[in-house]
Amino acid sequence: MVKYCKSPECRSDDAHRRRHSKGLCRNCYMRHWRTEKRLQSERRESGTDETRAKLQRYAERNLAILRRREVQRMLDLGKGEVEIIVAFGQREELLPFLASCRADPERALKRDLADIANESRKKSEVELIIERQIRQTRDQLADNDLSARDRTLLFQRLHRLERESKSSPSD
């Protein structure tokens, strides 16, 4: 007894309706297989979009922290308050950091500057210098074009600075 395709939508002629796999003829099985692959691909893409959206929401929540880090970096480079505020308005790469400001971006930048100044008043001059050097060394280490020798020297310098920062007297 010949077993035929169980699919009610089978469009095969009688000669090709024999069961091949999973109770379906070759044509129906291939249609079923392609549909499954398409659905898997769509599920994967929607999962990727969902993951990307979650990471984007996380980044938006933490833009204030990143903005403050950029302000600190500019202070380390010797920029003044006015130069920092103008730079945030002119440089394209800094504009996304202002997206977290619900009110006035200038006020947020001034608040960041005041917070940094307030924290620095609590520390000695030596501690401030060491912390600035640590931040600048970490920025240099982020450069991918460093040779292995330069990277090793920077890591040694970073470890020395971190030891000094732990051993320096805190007020």
Domain count, the chain: 2
Q: Judge whether 171 lies within some domain.
A: yes
Burial (Cβ within 10 Å: 0-12, 13-18, ≥19) of residue 94: middle
Q: Judge whether 157 lies within some domain.
A: yes
Domain span at residue 146?
Answer: 123-171
Q: Supply the pTM of this predicted model.
A: 0.61
- DSSP lists the bridge partners of residue 4 as 18
The single residue listed with the structure tokens 């640590």 is 134
Q: Judge whether 77 lies within some domain.
A: no
Q: Judge whether 78 lies within some domain.
A: no
CB 5 within 8 A of CB 17: yes
Amino acid at site 111? R
- The number of beta carbons lying within 10 Å of the beta carbon of residue 89 is 12
Return per-residue pLDDT of the chain as tens, 171 residues: 567 777 777 777 666 677 777 778 888 888 888 988 888 888 777 777 788 888 888 988 888 898 999 999 999 988 999 999 999 889 888 888 887 777 788 888 999 999 999 999 989 999 999 999 999 999 999 888 889 999 999 999 999 999 988 886 654
Q: Judge whether 108 lies within some domain.
A: no
- Given 29, 58, 87, the domain boundary residue is 58
Q: Judge whether 39 lies within some domain.
A: yes
